[in-house]
A and B are shown apart, each in its own frame.
Chain A
Amino acid sequence: DVKVTQSSRYLVKRTGEKVFLECVQDMDHENMFWYRQDPGLGLRLIYFSYDVKMKEKGDIPEGYSVSREKKERFSLILESASTNQTSMYLCASSLSFAGDYGYTFGSGTRLTVV
């Protein structure tokens, strides 16, 4: 089975800090995704990547950036954390870019910005 590992389960950061969320997958998937999930708003796509050094904006990229220097690793960066970025962050990877086989999610990082 594909394993998607997110480095932190819980994080508490201060407003204005630069925050790095790390995600690693072990099945050589080309495609990786970052979502945030909030009550009542569902899953919202922040960024995705279909190859090393490639990135595409999702629905809500403002305030975020990403890095994909290696195929297995996709990092989400909050340049200057704000309280409205308090959320559950979910990383996912996929064999097919079109998602024909669905996505596999990591366990999530619950980020609190104070």
Chain B
Amino acid sequence: QKEVEQNSGPLSVPEGAIASLNCTYSDRGSQSFFWYRQYSGKSPELIMFIYSNGDKEDGRFTAQLNKASQYVSLLIRDSQPSDSATYLCAVNRGGADGLTFGKGTHLIIQP
């Protein structure tokens, strides 16, 4: 059974601080990992992907992957109220199964 687990939140972070979002997955064969942002009433939007162990940075966003621990995280530096959204973690084994999504973490950035 493929599973992707996220804390549903809400996770409340003051403006300007670092928001840390976490995701664990059960399938050791997973090869690619994605973070989507979803504003209320809108569709998911891809913001980061990572394939290799370590960190990947893109602007204020950093994705971190630890395959040994089956753990992927998203850090948002200098959090802004516009970052308030639900963040979905998704993983893929690289085969015919497509992406498996977590249920998302609701992030609230407090001004």
By a beta-carbon cutoff of 8 Å, the part of chain A in contact with chain B is: 33, 40-43, 45, 48, 56, 58, 90, 94, 97-108
Contact = CB atoms under 8 A, between A and B. Distances in A.
Contact of B103 (A41, A98, A108): A41
A10 to B, nearest CB: 11
B87 interface: no
A43 B101 contact: yes
- Which of the four size classes fits the interface of chain B? 20 to 34
Given A98-B95, A99-B92, A40 B49 contact: no
A-B residue pairs, 9 tightest by C-beta: A42-B103, A105-B43, A43-B101, A102-B46, A99-B92, A99-B99, A108-B43, A98-B94, A102-B34
B102 A48 contact: no
Contacts, number: 55
Given A98-B94, A99-B32, A99-B98, A90 B43 contact: yes
Contacts of A43: 44, 88, 101
- Most chain B beta-carbon neighbours within 10 Å: one of A58, A98, A99, A104: A99
Contacts of A104: 46
B43 A103 contact: no
Given A41-B103, A43-B88, A99-B98, A108 B46 contact: no
A103 B43 CA distance: 11
Contacts of A102: 34, 36, 46, 49, 90, 99
